Amino acid sequence: MLTKRFNFATLVLTSAVCSALAIMAVSFRDKQYVQNEQAPQAITALSVPSCQTVTHRLDGYQFIKPLLYNDQTCESGNYDALKANIENAISQYKQAGNADNVSVYLKLLTTRDYIGINENEMYHPASLIKLPILITYLKMEEKNPGILNKKLVFTLPKGGVPQQTYNTHQIEPGKSYPIKELLKYMVAYSDNNATYVLNNNVDLEIFKKMFSDFGLVVPDVHDMNYQISAKDYSIFLNIIYNAGYLSIPHCEFAAEILSECDFKSGIESSLPQNVKLVHKFGEWGVANNPNIHQLSESGIVYLDNLPYILTVMTQGKDVKRLPEVISEISSIIYNTLKGEKVLS
């Protein structure tokens, strides 16, 4: 059963602009959350010596421990030259005034090597939070099959829904849509209208439990200042790729929607057309300060037998200059890795 929500009109959007988390805050006010003590909890990885692999598994079952993802405890040094090139590009963008802060997390899914540049710096997730919402709905479907076919009506709230710079297709007020279609609008088109409807019906217990299972800080949907790092956000892409948290068909469905993301100015702009990409972007700004903007993007690039996760988070004075920063970093990485020969 879908969860009842309180009225959007009782709230006022403040400093967060174009943020799915902001929409969650105005949709979920005064909702009391219930923690499911019976649900499986994520295992806390034990400390290990440097440069070893840490395996993260889902605990709480009697006989199994599903694999979530693997991590290296430090950079291997195999890609120091690539890292230096990325850092040099970032420095040039900063000197030109096109970016104030940039964070990068690159993880090779075949070898588990990674590169981190300010990867633990915190940013507002904005529409990046729509991927965790998608995962939540797919988990809801697994618990109660048929939910994705349920139709919901979009009623435009008093005061409207936050809009954003990069926006294409939107659902229309007064019309009903199956949840499965709303998920596509929310993720592929980053439609905040669809996000508003979905947030009013999401199971918050499952949403919060997911963050806990992944070992992440559970977001308070009332807190407009919730932030996440590039390294931590990359976990959501890892979860989709490994298919250890959701069923394989649902992970494939999530990846398919992500592959239809129509934001073309960042990671995708530097890739050949034949290279597959699943990705999501997020845009955040401060209403009373037009000189503070953040633009972030995270995706999986399917480079032959060397697929990799790339998350780039940026902040600058002009949001329309930030896609070029993401695109350049993506180009440097792709052009370096395309010559790599790694056994599958």
Judge contact between 191 and 170, C-beta under 8 A. Answer: yes
Q: Percentage of the chain with pLDDT > 90?
A: 65
Q: How far apart are the C-alpha atoms of 136 and 130, rounded to whole Å?
A: 10
- Per DSSP (E only), the strands in 118-159 are 122-123, 151-153
Which CATH code is given to the segment(s) 55-337? Answer: 3.40.710.10
90-99, 255-264, 282-291: lowest mean pLDDT where? 282-291
List pLDDT tens digits, range 286-306.
777 888 999 999 999 999 889
pLDDT of residue 166: 65
Domain ranges, ordered by start, for the chain: 55-337
Q: Which residue has the tokens 């070029």?
A: 324
122-136, 160-174, 188-202, 297-311: lowest mean pLDDT where? 160-174
CA angle 248–113–40, rounded 5-degree value = 40
Judge contact between 311 and 296, C-beta under 8 A. Answer: yes
In the predicted model, what is the mean pLDDT of the chain?
A: 85
Calculate the dihedral angle through the C-alpha atoms of 301, 23, 186, 39, rounding to the nearest 10 degrees.
70
Q: How far apart are the C-alpha atoms of 319 and 293, rounded to whole Å?
A: 6
Instruction: Look at 159 and 7; give whichever has higher pLDDT.
Output: 159
132-141, 214-223, 234-243, 328-337: lowest mean pLDDT where? 214-223
pLDDT of residue 25: 56
pLDDT of residue 62: 86
Q: How far apart are the C-alpha atoms of 33 and 40, rounded to whole Å?
A: 17
pTM of the model: 0.85
pLDDT of residue 27: 56
Instruction: Look at 2 and 27; give whichever has higher pLDDT.
Output: 27
Q: Which two tokens stand for residue 341?
A: 């020969």
Judge contact between 327 and 270, C-beta under 8 A. Answer: yes
Stretch 17-23: mean pLDDT, rounded?
54
> How many other β-carbons are positioned within 10 Å of the β-carbon of residue 276?
12
Instruction: Answer whether residue 334 shows pLDDT above 90.
Output: yes
Judge contact between 13 and 209, C-beta under 8 A. Answer: no
List pLDDT tens digits, range 33-72.
333 333 444 444 444 446 788 889 988 888 898 889 888 8
pLDDT of residue 324: 97
Identify the CA nearest to 231 among candidates 78, 79, 83, 117: 117
Q: How far apart are the C-alpha atoms of 94 and 26, rounded to whole Å?
A: 35
pLDDT of residue 222: 75
Q: Which residue has the tokens 């005034």?
A: 97
> How many other β-carbons are positioned within 10 Å of the β-carbon of residue 153?
11
**Beta pairing partners, 35:** none
CA atoms within 13 A on the CB side of 298: 32
CA atoms within 13 A on the CB side of 119: 20
Phi, psi of 285 (to 5 degrees): -150, 170
Instruction: Answer whether residue 140 shows pLDDT above 70.
Output: yes
Stretch 245-263: mean pLDDT, rounded?
96
pLDDT of residue 41: 46
Q: Which residue has the tokens 């997390």?
A: 105
- Which H or E run includes 104? strand 101-108
Instruction: Answer whether residue 3 shows pLDDT above 60.
Output: no
